[in-house]
Amino acid sequence: MNEATAAGKPRLTREHALALLRGMLRVRRFEERCVELYTQEKIRGFLHVCIGQEAVAAGVMFNIADDEAVVAAYREHGHALLKGMTMQQVMAEMYGKVSGCARGRGGSMHLFDADTRFYGGNAIVGGGIPLAVGLALAEKMQGGNRATVCFFGDGAASEGVFYESLNLAALWQLPLVFVCENNYYAMGTPIAVEHAQPEIYRKAEAIGVPAERLDGMSVVQVEAAARKALAAARAGKGPRLIECETYRFRAHSMFDPQRYRDQTEVEEWKKKDPVDRLAEWMAQANLIDEDQRKTMEAEIAEEVEQAVQFAEAAEWESEKTLFDHLVQPLPKPLAPPPAPEIEATETTLREAFHRGLEEALEHDDRVFLMGEDIGRYGGCYAVTHDLFGQFGAERIIDTPLAENGFTGAGLGAALGGMRPVIEIMTVNFSLLAIDQIVNSASALLHMSGGQFNVPVVIRMATGAGRQVAAQHSHSLENWYAHVPGLRVLAPATVEDARYMLWAALQDPNPVVIFEHVMLYNHKAELTPQAQGVDIEKAAIRRPGTDISLITYGGCLYKTLEAAEQLAAEGIEAEVIDLRVLRPLDTDTLIESVSRTRRAVMVDEGWKTGSLAGELMAILTEQAFWELDAPPARVCSAEIPVPYAKHMEQAALPRVADIVAAAKRTLGEAP
């Protein structure tokens, strides 16, 4: 609903006031019923109600256009209802029924609706804030002026991602309104304990985001501020923050005994009840009488009961669809690369990666790159050199050192219709972004019941060998390969480095690409691949009959060298390059081992919990009777990677280690 006024203030006509009152009452009565249903064990899990805070959602939502995006936190029932979701679909989701807004896969904390552009609640405190930044970034990149609104609580303003996100929004002057629902308690921690500066709006001002603080128990004040902030965002004046001082009358969640606050404090705040406050004013102004209030209450009560009846009668999702909405299928066939090489040329993996990025930028206007030092500097590993000069700052976006923030922004931009390629400088730094990758990117399609996929590509350097010691030498590919919903790639040849990106950008799901630092300078002849490369299959890099050596990434060439040494002794080893770590191509593995009857896994990760261990389990489960010997593995020593060169090399898989493991598996003395 939009009702502009010359002064930018709400014009409280009777219809306007009635709409605000009805909106708050709908939220209040819906949640009161949910509390009853929770005690009856009809609703389970966590239930966070916003009873007492309704003025914030009502005041802001009154001004949001139907096609503007909203991102909320886990106390989001009111935001969802006031954005236009039906009470029936929300209640069914609370029950976990298939008729719910997310097919029962999200529950109370994860309400989603593509039709109303409601991008969900988020159970991770502050987790939705960078997604809102990305949605606003996509809107700006596409030339639109629709605003994005992001709701969060005071607790989220303690998270680092809050500061990262506000900084990005201010730097990029995005059409975004942040709404802090400051209810004075982050779960049970009072604001005086969690914030050295308890006035949250001042934090935004310090970052460069214009902000104001207001009485969040007054729907009139909230609406006036929201109207002004949204107008500024739509006019291209950049982000705004509204801090609404409000209060939840009930517990943080239904598990909360509320020992951290005195009941007298709650009663004092109840005197400011936003619903009663507006209703009493309307009665005094003759905008509503007792009979009209009773009629409104009766209509809302009927709506609530119809929602309950709908949820009660709705069906549960069949277990047969358990694996639905995990990933969307790759297009069949994949579009070939638009500008493949015609003749074989010698190149390095660095230049092959560079050409893949350049090709994507040239042939898909939705593609842009984002990361630390990728533009003006040319990239830490020089993969993105010269791209800034070719495509400019709008397509090659240098970010602050804020991995969780800019990764989340990339996910939001993907939700908004773009095709971002995010570069995280090293796998070690990705641990700062793992929240967004694991809690959001991999799970959104599932949690939203198939409504929101995240077509983003995340590149990062991995591996050891450069004498940069423990904090820049990890091989954590298996951590990400562990997570359903991600595709994980590990290119090790110039062909894969050159062509995997184009295929990955066609994947409607999040793709993580690991580039081993010791392979950037590896030079080889690039064979033309007119159809691109397969990102679903492992590759046999060297055929053999006596033993299968299974590896990926930085260990590929060590394994090939080991195979040559074995061949000199009459042992023909087959070398399999996994290259796709999730989903694993088990068919190729089983077929190879069924022929060779022996296997050695070579993995730069640590042995405990390694991808090599998973491969051994797969072979044991699916090819046990084909094996003539127990499978073996060669992994890095279980220590932080040392600095001194000889110690670093001793810690990593070596050619001699692979040869020895193969001979042991063949029954020979090492």
Q: What is the pLDDT of residues 191-235, one digit of tens each?
A: 888 888 999 999 999 999 999 999 999 999 999 999 999 999 999
d(CA 481, CA 597): 26
User: In 3D, which of 666, 665, 658 has the Cα closest to residue 565?
Assistant: 658
Assess whether pLDDT exceeds 90 at residue 251.
Answer: no
569 shares a domain with 482: no
Q: Minimum mean pLDDT among 224-228, 260-264, 313-317, 619-623: which range?
A: 260-264
How confident is the model at residue 66, as a pLDDT? Answer: 95
30 shares a domain with 126: yes
Assess whether pLDDT exceeds 60 at residue 289.
Answer: yes
How confident is the model at residue 254, as a pLDDT? Answer: 78
How confident is the model at residue 2, as a pLDDT? Answer: 41
Q: Are strands 240-245 and 176-182 parallel, antiparallel or unpaired?
A: parallel
Assess whether pLDDT exceeds 90 at residue 102.
Answer: yes
Assess whether pLDDT exceeds 90 at residue 260.
Answer: no
User: In 3D, which of 470, 489, 471 has the Cα closest to residue 480?
Assistant: 489
d(CA 51, CA 377): 51
Structure tokens at 660: 């020895």
DSSP label at 652? Answer: S
Q: For residue 510, is the peptide bond before it cis, meaning its omega torsion is within 30 degrees of 0?
A: no
| Residues involved in catalysis | 403, 472
How confident is the model at residue 391, as a pLDDT? Answer: 97
What's the whole-number average pLDDT of the chain? Answer: 94
Name the helix (H) or strand (E) containing 458.
Answer: strand 457-462
Residue with tokens 């929300």: 90
How many Å from the N-terminal Cα to the C-terminal Cα in the chain? 77
Q: What is the pLDDT of residues 15-57, one digit of tens each?
A: 999 999 999 999 999 999 999 998 999 999 998 888 899 999 9
How confident is the model at residue 640, as a pLDDT? Answer: 93
Residue 9 domain-assigned (yes or no): no
Residue 401: CATH number of its domain: 3.40.50.970
156 shares a domain with 63: yes
Residue 572: CATH number of its domain: 3.40.50.920
421 shares a domain with 364: yes
Q: Assign 258 a pLDDT band (cuts: 50, 70, 90).
A: confident
Sign of the CA dihedral 404, 409, 414, 418?
A: negative
425 phi and psi, to 5 degrees?
-55, -45
Do the Cβ atoms of 119 and 69 come closer than 8 Å?
yes
593 shares a domain with 481: no
CA angle centred on 467, ends 463 and 470, rounded to 5°: 65
629 shares a domain with 498: no
Residue 4 domain-assigned (yes or no): no
How confident is the model at residue 1, as a pLDDT? Answer: 37
Residue 336 domain-assigned (yes or no): no
Assess whether pLDDT exceeds 90 at residue 253.
Answer: no
Do the Cβ atoms of 407 and 512 come closer than 8 Å?
no
Q: What would the mean pLDDT of 440-446 be, rounded to a whole number? A: 97
- Final residue belonging to a domain, choices 314, 333, 355: 314
Residue 626 domain-assigned (yes or no): yes
Sign of the CA dihedral 181, 183, 188, 191?
A: positive
Assess whether pLDDT exceeds 90 at residue 668.
Answer: no
Q: What is the pLDDT of residues 109-124, one digit of tens each?
A: 999 999 999 998 998 9
DSSP string, 204-272: HHHHT--EEEEETT-HHHHHHHHHHHHHHHHTT---EEEEEE---SS-SSTT---TTS-HHHHHHHHTT
Structure tokens at 217: 């128990």
Number of domains making up the chain: 3
Residue 176 domain-assigned (yes or no): yes
Give the count of alpha carbons within 13 A of 529, CB side only. 21
174 shares a domain with 51: yes
DSSP string, 296-353: HHHHHHHHHHHHHHHHHHSPPPPGGGTTTTS-PPPPSSPPPPSS--SS-EEEEHHHHH
Q: What is the pLDDT of residues 121-140, one digit of tens each?
A: 998 999 999 999 999 999 99
Q: What is the pLDDT of residues 645-659, one digit of tens each?
A: 999 999 999 999 999
Identify the residue with better confidence: 188 or 126: 126
Do the Cβ atoms of 596 and 556 come closer than 8 Å?
no
Residue 331 domain-assigned (yes or no): no
Domain, as residue range, for 395: 345-526
Q: Is 561 exposed, middle or buried (0-12, 13-18, 19+ CB in 10 A)?
A: middle
CA angle centred on 34, ends 29 and 36, rounded to 5°: 100
Percent of the chain whose predicted confidence (pLDDT) is above 70:
98
Do the Cβ atoms of 174 and 136 come closer than 8 Å?
yes
Q: What is the pLDDT of residues 491-550, one digit of tens each?
A: 999 999 999 999 999 999 999 999 999 999 999 999 999 999 999 999 999 999 999 999
How confident is the model at residue 11, as a pLDDT? Answer: 63
Reported pTM: 0.95
How confident is the model at residue 247, as a pLDDT? Answer: 86
661 shares a domain with 548: yes
Q: What is the pLDDT of residues 323-377, one digit of tens each?
A: 999 999 999 999 999 999 999 999 999 999 999 999 999 999 999 999 999 999 9
Assess whether pLDDT exceeds 90 at residue 69.
Answer: yes
3-state secondary structure of 387: helix
243 shares a domain with 117: yes
Residue with tokens 């397509």: 395
Q: What would the mean pLDDT of 146-158 be, rounded to a whole number? A: 94
Do the Cβ atoms of 538 and 588 come closer than 8 Å?
yes
Q: What would the mean pLDDT of 460-464 be, rounded to a whole number? A: 94
Do the Cβ atoms of 427 and 475 come closer than 8 Å?
yes
511 shares a domain with 400: yes
48 shares a domain with 93: yes
Assess whether pLDDT exceeds 70 at residue 3.
Answer: no
383 shares a domain with 271: no
Q: What share of the chain is helix, strand, coil (3-state, %, to 5)?
A: 45, 15, 40
The identity of residue 419, as a single letter, is R
Residue 187 domain-assigned (yes or no): yes
Percent of the chain whose predicted confidence (pLDDT) is above 90:
88
